[in-house]
Structure 1
Amino acid sequence: MIIAVDAVGGDHYPESPVQGSIQAVEEDDSLRVILLGPEELVNEELNKYEYDRERISVQDAPEIIGMDESPAQAVKSKKNSSITVGLGLQRAGKCNGFISAGNTGALLAASTFILGKLKGVSRPTIAATFPTIKGFRLLVDAGANLEMRPEMYYQFARMGVIYAREVMKIDDPQIGLINVGEEKEKGTEDVKEAYNLLSPLPEFIGNIEGGDIFSAKADILLCDGFVGNVLLKFGESIPGAVKQIIEAELKKEAQRGKPQAPPTKLIQSSLSMFNPENVGGVPFLGVDGVSMVGHGGSSALAVKNMIFNAVKCVENNINEKIIASLNS
């Protein structure tokens, strides 16, 4: 298995991509990694560590796409960027997947343009994991498509079922359409039409409301990218907010003469499911390849987990199963 890694993607490059790649090959003897970025910069970071030189190589990609650049313009103008070169390697069959913690819009645009779309897919989507009391569930779309046509909800739902079952190992995943009420008549015209298209699917349980999300009433949380991205960012903010609330309350108790040690370890353990590093990255479902994007602030741990998530997609033949599902 060969995974190409964007060594200059995210806020902590090249440290996090390099360290995460080294950790990944140390844990999986069958894995090889190609690091993409300015060769001198990447090698300078690699030389700080002991690593298996037979299983980690560097591919020169001298141009860097910044986090604030226009996605379409960056992909067109920077033909030698780590993103375009890495996806080109995958298209040429020289690696099995590509991961990056860089510019999400640029990665989506490049993945669609270079890898193409799977048969039967109108638009690719970002499928993100979302924490619930029953563990991680799948949120789709998580920001790739701010406005969606009814048929896109249907396609994303079917792709999400494949990913949830094959990679997340959720038995019999259920689909819930996020709406302002459970009744089928609720929502915009597009959402109501999406409900009608989804109704024949055996996995579809109907509309779900905001209060159903953390309780995991459904395993596939289906919505447009505008709602999905807001939900995703809200979920990521919860651990820090809860920690501040608890520590503030403990401080008040101490001022009242009731000193207590902050239960830091308990707080961190309880909220660990909200940490995106434990998942690493999420796929662009619908592209003809394996392309995954991680949080801009990804650490080495997040990069390592993103690599392993890409491996799972390849090993479980996600794309072949999506094609079969959409064209059956």
Structure 2
Amino acid sequence: MIVAVDAAGGDHYPKNPVEGALQAVDENKELTVLLVGPEDALKKELENHDYDKSRVLIQHAPQVIGMEESPAQAIKNKRQSSIVIGLGLHKAGKCDAFVSAGNTGALLAASMFILGKLKGVLRPTIAVYYPTLKGFRLLVDAGANLEIKPETAVQFAQMAQIYCQQILKIDKPKVGLLNVGEEEGKGTECIKEIHDYLKFFPNFIGNVEGKDILPGKADVYISDGFVGNIVLKFGESIPEILEKMIGKAAMDMELPQEDLKKITTVLRTALAPFNYENVGGIPFLGVNGVSIVGHGGSSPLAIKNMIKSAVKTVENDVNGKIVASLN
């Protein structure tokens, strides 16, 4: 298994991508990583580590796509970037997957342009893990498609169900449509039409509201990318905000330091599922390859888990099962 890693992507390159890649190689003796980025910078970073040189390779890519760059312009003008070269290697069969914590829009655009779509797929999508009381579940779309058509929503549900079955090991994933109310007939005209299409979909449980997400009423939450991204970013803010609020309340109550430490420990343990580092990333569903996107601030742990996600996606032939379900 060879996984290419965008070593010039994210807020903390090349340090975090390199460290995460080395951790992944240490854990999986069947894995080789291909670090893609400016060769001199990668060699300098690797000097700080002991590693198996036969399983940690470098592919020179002199250009870097910044986090704020226009995806279309970046792909057009930076053909020697780590994202473009890394995905090109994947397209050519030189690696089994590509992972990046870099510019999400650029990665999606390049994935669609270089790898293309799986047979039968209308639009690739970004699905993300969302923590619930029942464990991680999927929210899709999380920002790739700000507006979606009914037939596209149905495909999102199909692809997400397969991912849940193969990776999350949920036997019969339930699908819910995020809406402003549970009753049929609620929402915008587009949402109503999507509901009409999904009502015949296996294990569709109908409309679900925002309050239903954290309890885990569904296993797959369908949304357009506009709403989905807002829900995603809100969820990411919860741990830090709650920790600050509870810390302030404890100080106002003048609790002993020992009690405050216990409260902090309990809170951090309870909110651990919200930590993106524990899942790393998830593939663009519908892309003809395995292109994994992660958080821009990914730590080495998050990078390692992105690589593990890529390995699982390949080993479980998620793309092959998606194609079989659509055609």
Which residue is equivalent to 1:100?
100
Cα distance in 2, alignment partners of residues 305 and 69 from structure 1: 26
SS at match of 1:284: strand
Deviations 1:6-40 (A, max 9, x none): 00100010010000000000000000000000100
Which residue is equivalent to 2:311?
311
Does the alignment pair 1:22 with 2:9? Answer: no
Instruction: Note the C-alpha offset of 1:185.
Output: 0.6
Instruction: Note the C-alpha offset of 1:171.
Output: 2.0
Instruction: Note the C-alpha offset of 1:42.
Output: 0.7
For residues 41-120 of structure 1, the aligned pairs below 5 Å read 41-120=41-120
Instruction: Note the C-alpha offset of 1:80.
Output: 0.6
Which residue is equivalent to 2:260?
261
Runs of 4+ in 1 over 3 A off after TM superposition: 257-260
Instruction: Note the C-alpha offset of 1:200.
Output: 1.4
Deviations 1:59-91 (A, max 9, x none): 000000000100011001111100000000010
Cα distance in 1, alignment partners of residues 26 and 298 from structure 2: 19
Instruction: Note the C-alpha offset of 1:326.
Output: 1.2
Q: Is the 8 A contact 1:253 1:259 kept in 2?
A: no
Cα distance in 2, alignment partners of residues 319 and 23 from structure 1: 26
Cα distance in 1, alignment partners of residues 190 and 234 from structure 2: 25
For residues 1-328 of structure 1, the aligned pairs below 5 Å read 1-254=1-254, 260-262=259-261, 263-327=263-327
Deviations 1:230-270 (A, max 9, x none): 01111110001111111111101117x99843322211111
Q: TM-score, normalised by structure 1?
A: 0.97
Deviation larger for 46-55 or 264-273: 264-273
Could you tell me which amino acid in structure 1 is paired with residue 76 of structure 2?
Answer: K
Q: Is the 8 A contact 2:175 2:204 kept in 1?
A: yes
Instruction: Note the C-alpha offset of 1:160.
Output: 0.3
Report how many residues are paired. 326
Cα distance in 2, alignment partners of residues 179 and 197 from structure 1: 15
Q: TM-score, normalised by structure 2?
A: 0.98
SS at match of 1:144: coil
Output the aligned Cα RMSD: 1.2
SS at match of 2:160: helix
Between the aligned residues of both structures, percent identity stands at: 60
Q: Is the 8 A contact 1:254 1:260 kept in 2?
A: no
Report the CA distance shift for 1:311/1:259 in structure 2 as closer, same or farther (over 3 A): closer
Cα distance in 1, alignment partners of residues 68 and 254 from structure 2: 44
Q: Is the 8 A contact 1:7 1:82 kept in 2?
A: yes
SS at match of 2:35: strand
Cα distance in 2, alignment partners of residues 292 and 261 from structure 1: 39
Segments of 5+ residues of structure 1 without an aligned counterpart are none
SS at match of 2:20: helix
Could you tell me which amino acid in structure 1 is paired with residue 312 of structure 2?
Answer: K
Cα distance in 1, alignment partners of residues 79 and 105 from structure 2: 16
